[in-house]
Homo-oligomer: A and B are copies of this chain.
Amino acid sequence: MIEVESKYWSPGNDKVEKALIRLGAKKIAEETMEDVYFSHPGRDFGKTDEALRLRKKADEVELSYKGPRMKMERAKAREEINLKIDNALTAQRIIERLGFTEVCVVKKLRKSYHLDRLRIDVDDVEGLGEFVELEILTESPDRSEELFELATKELSLERLEPKTYLELILEHKR
């Protein structure tokens, strides 16, 4: 599966959530996430545009590999492989013994909605601000742009942010 996603600076998360409810979107989750990103011992993930992420939620831990972004007009698509694991600390120890290094931690409160085939994440990212992510898991990425265009209009999303939270936070730190 390919994850096609598009991120926008939020015109105000309260406003976006109200619009979502008006449109009949279904709230599926509200959770705090702590994402730990790692650098590779022999590869510059910044250059290869990959990522290794350990995501800690209240009741679940997930290890994810993200492949290079394929650019589209309004969105980006990338391979994403997600693995459920039973212990964040143990996973991090294995990852670090293999030579990977913790680069950055991204903390956010995410409220997630379903609207048709879209998943919409309303994010409040620590140290960065409010964002809205539109996402489709699909096998044919090209047909998703239309759906994204509709949603951005309905939700007043205007300021596209092509960078990942990781990139934004690393820039912010410099």
Using CB atoms and an 8 Å cutoff, list the residues of chain A in contact with chain B. Answer: 40-43, 50, 52, 63-65, 67, 81-87, 90-91, 93-94, 97-99
Contacts and interface: CB of A to CB of B under 8 A. Distances in A.
Given A42-B42, A84-B86, 8 more contacts: A40-B41, A43-B99, A50-B97, A63-B94, A81-B90, A83-B85, A83-B87, A83-B94
Q: Name A's interface SS.
A: mixed
25 contacts: A40-B98, A40-B99, A41-B41, A41-B42, A41-B43, A42-B42, A42-B99, A50-B97, A52-B98, A63-B94, A64-B94, A65-B93, A65-B94, A65-B98, A67-B97, A81-B90, A81-B94, A81-B97, A83-B85, A83-B86, A83-B90, A83-B91, A84-B85, A84-B86, A85-B85
